[in-house]
Chain A
Amino acid sequence: MFKSLIEKNEKRSQLSMMAQYLNTCFMISTIEHEYLVNIEKGVVKNVEEGPFVMPSYVFKLTAPKNEWIKFLQHTPQPGSHDIIAMLRRKVLKFEGDLHPLMSHLLYFKLLLASLRPAESKNEN
């Protein structure tokens, strides 16, 4: 689900500029699946899919798969359009050392939103 964070990497040079001093590793969880994302100088270098035995990461974002699917629509519905909106609905949990996330909040929002399809289709 989040593996293509790296596939789309090439298209993100502008986004990387927003986080050029950021080096971190974070976990995205859909509860059933986990993805470990490595960022160097604002560039997603690696996305590893679990299961993991002893994963090491700085912070973790956890939401059920169906909530991530709603977030990743071309035009998400109200309440699913932003990670803080999901936090407000208590369907997304932020855990760990949140400093990299909060100091690069817009970068992470746009990074995750970059997985949305460019054209509207299959929206329910």
Chain B
Amino acid sequence: MKIEKEPISGQYGKFKIDGIDYRIYWEEAGQGIPLVCLHTAGSDGRQYRALLNDKKILEKFRVIVFDMPWHGKSSPPENAKVGNYKLSTDFYISQIMSFINGLELVKPVVMGCSIGGRIILHLAINFPDKFRALIGLQSAGHLDPYYDVSWLHRQDVHGGEVCGGIAYGLMAPTSPESDKFETMWHYMQGGPGIFKGDLFFYKFDGNIGNEIKKIDNSKCPIYLLTGEYDYSATPEETKSLADTIGIEMIKMKNVGHFPMSENPKEFLKYLHPVLNKIS
């Protein structure tokens, strides 16, 4: 039987992050300008499966997606315990920079969604000269809690069920059901407390106030794209962020919080022109 092989290859490597060894898994495809993609809170790199298979993008870009420590196929560190995972801004920055340095990537483009859409703002503030461009999907400068996140990790509630239920609602009713299901499935497979631990960054530690004004788009071009059905990082919040930076935002119709995963076909219509500009 002949199978349809995808152009993606996966690899493991040991990276030192803040002095501690982490076994990290990443996938890549294509050649050219490095494009490092960051997945959302509580999920993993499979969210970028469509990008890693998009012939047009792979002609000019080397698309690289890593699973954050504790996520997907990446391991927790040695002596890890369940329940004490909390993503801080500093640790998130450290893992991205360790990954980029470890792979010896020179001036990559970094694209992140949700927590990834937030961290690219921190990268723009702290290391504008290190990147060719930064792309924020579902970016907002801050987020005030609007539901009790303790439900995401308690022993009398199945974490996969509740995290999947939360993720499902963040998607557009117009997105294809099979892609929505897969996006939700990734959430259902997350480890106990990991989604909640990531949200510590998203809702508390990673909030940016006036520091947004430090972002200089002339040093590193920033692109912001947000799906209209996202109620976590709303188009209005991205617009306010874009206004502060002094750039235009792109509002994506018919998608929600996970554009690259819940409706790749629709998302790629918006992403291709952005990548054309960057290349």
Contact residues of A with B, CB < 8 Å? 75-76, 78-79, 81-85, 87-89, 98-99, 102-107, 109
Contact = CB atoms under 8 A, between A and B. Distances in A.
Contact of B169 (A84, A89, A99, A103): A84
B106 interface: no
B161 A105 contact: yes
Contacts of B184: 106
24 contacts: A75-B173, A75-B174, A78-B229, A78-B231, A81-B169, A81-B229, A82-B169, A83-B169, A84-B170, A88-B146, A88-B231, A99-B156, A99-B157, A102-B157, A102-B162, A103-B156, A103-B162, A105-B161, A105-B166, A106-B164, A106-B165, A109-B165, A109-B168, A109-B169
A26 to B, nearest CB: 16
Q: Which residue, of A89, A104, A105, has the highest number of chain B Cβ atoms within 10 A?
A: A105
B147 A84 contact: yes
Which range holds the interface residue count of chain B?
A: 20 to 34
Given A78-B228, A81-B172, 5 more contacts: A84-B170, A84-B231, A103-B162, A104-B161, A105-B161
A82 B169 CA distance: 5
Contacts of A102: 151, 157, 162
B231 A85 contact: yes
Interface string B262-279: 000000000000000000
Contacts of A89: 231
Contacts of B213: none
Given A87-B146, A99-B157, A109-B168, A76 B173 contact: yes
Contacts of A85: 169, 231
A79 B162 contact: no
Contacts of B161: 103-106
Contacts of A104: 161, 165
Contacts of B166: 84, 105
Nearest to A102: B151
Contacts of B172: 78, 81
Contacts of A75: 173-174
B158 interface: yes
Contacts of A106: 161, 164-165, 168, 184
A110 to B, nearest CB: 9
Interface string B216-255: 0000000000001111100000000000000000000000
A106 B169 CA distance: 8
A84 B184 CA distance: 16
Contacts of A98: 151
